[in-house]
Amino acid sequence: MILRMLRQSWRRNPRRKLLSIATVFLAASLLSALMLVSIDIGDQMAREMKSYGANILMLPAEQAALPSLGDGEDNPLAGQSSLDESELPNIMDIFWRNNIAGFAPLLSGEVKLDDGLAVKVVGTFFDKRLTVPDEDDYHTGQRTISPFWHVQGEWPDDEKDEALAGSALARAHGWRAGMELTVGGAPLRIAGLLTSGGEEEDALVVPLRLAQQWLDMPGKIQAVRVSALTVPENDLSKRALRDPDSLDAETYDLWYCTAYVSSIAHQLEEAVSGSIARPIWQVAASEGVIIEKIQSLLIMATCAALLAAAMGIASLMTSVLMERSREIGLMKALGAHDWQASLLFYAEAILGSLAGGLLGCLAGWGLARVIGWQLFDEPLRFSWIVAPCVLLISVFIAVAGTWFPARRIARLYPVEVLHGRA
């Protein structure tokens, strides 16, 4: 009979129910979108943060002893010694290799063009194919770690004699993309003009191989910029950074196996001989913190949305119960138990919330995709865990929203409503 009542009540008076389904629907779609975003935003944001540049700088040990490289603006000309290019693939063999988004070596100096002009040259990887353990087709270079480099024209091919002309340099000499220069008798094509906001704008950026040849430093590099995904620093990581040897074995393991920027830097030093890896603090330290803050902000927004939905349901249910108080009074007059009367309304609320929750999940997923596209230019991943969570929470807010009004059912005396005295 209760099923029959539910069915008839729904069939013959769907407006109210649609309203409560709509409330749950809105809450559920907001909730699932926020959940999907907060689950995925950590990865997305970390990836996005890479656009602020590499967060670890590797230098030759002797040179790093010089002060003041903390602001990330390296000056590779300052030292004489160098690192070996052949050791670069070791970077992709460290414990936290999966957190290494990419890296690019640097070698710079001054080179005379054949027309007599002396220019600053920076050798690096653009999108260089490397042989590394575990990965077949590994490419890395400035395209990965410097997404803020704006190239007008094309990116050079690491294997061809092509270059990026820094925009300031190109402007000074009237160079355009597609022009050819000559260096040491060989042609060098300017594939594109580079706007980076850094000192590369005054230089000619060329494949590492060419710089090594012109500067007569075969197989050598002066620095490596590494982009790594890290977790926020804490006391442990700061202590380790000061002196890893001060840790006992167990804390050392804990530190080593956590993606702190300091432990990744430490592992990079182990991977490339004679190197010192320095976190570029402004970027590295803030990344994890910003992501955490954004996540907690999202969680707060989600809670607020939930609370609002529960209150919406409660007020909706209260007005439904007011409207239907005669019905409830009648049921009681006919001998219904309080729970029998309440059950009907709980069942209605739960069914409605399931419908709304299900639809809300779908809509939330769509919303999350839109948010993903808007913020990160790619859709967020759908985590299946969200669906049951949202359904459960939908039912919970429906039950919570019905609970207060349902207590009025218990207190309602049939006399009061059946004879019009409320």
Partner 1 sequence: MKKDMANAIAVETRQVGKKFGSVTALDGIDIRVGSGEFVALMGASGSGKTTLMNILTCLDTASSGEVWLDGVNAATLDEEGRREFRARHIGLVFQQFHLIPYLNALENVMLAQHYHSVVDQPSARAALELVGMEHRLEHLPSQLSGGEQQRVCIARALVNRPPIIFADEPTGNLDEENENRVLDIFEKLHAQGHTIVMVTHNPVLGHRAERIVYLQHGRIVDAPEAISATARQTNGSRAFAMAASESARP
* Closest distance to partner 1 from the beta carbon of 12 (Å): 4
- The residue from 43, 84, 199, 327 that contacts partner 1 (CB under 8 A) is 327
The token duo for 71 is 């602001």
Say if residues 140 and 153 touch (Cβ distance below 8 Å): no
Q: Which of 235, 335, 374, 384 binds partner 1 (CB under 8 A)?
A: 335
Opening angle at CA 121, ends 119 and 126, nearest 5: 145
Q: Is 179 in the site for partner 1 (CB under 8 A)?
A: no
327 within 8 A of 340, measured Cβ to Cβ: no
Query: C-beta of 7: minimal distance to partner 1 in Å?
Result: 10
In the complex with partner 1, which residue's Cβ is closer, 242 or 419? 419
Mask 376-415, x = binds partner 1 (CB under 8 A)? -------------------------------------xxx
- Interface residue with partner 1 among 304, 333, 370, 422 (CB under 8 A) is 333
The one segment of 57-65, 66-74, 100-108, 322-330 that binds partner 1 by CB under 8 A: 322-330
For 71, 249, 253, 277, the CA distances from 259, given in Å and listed in that order, are 22, 17, 12, 15
Residue 195: count other Cβ atoms within 10 Å of its Cβ.
Answer: 17
CA distance 259 to 30: 32
Nearer to partner 1, 91 or 336 (CB): 336
SS (H, E, C) 191-226: EEEEECCCHHHHEEEEEHHHHHHHHCCCCEECEEEE
Q: Which of 107, 284, 331, 371 binds partner 1 (CB under 8 A)?
A: 331
Rounded CA separation 271/84 (Å)? 11
String of contacts with partner 1 for each residue 8-37, x by CB under 8 A: xx-xxx------------------------
Site residues for partner 1 per CB under 8 A:
1-2, 4-5, 8-9, 11-13, 326-327, 329-337, 340, 413-415, 418-420
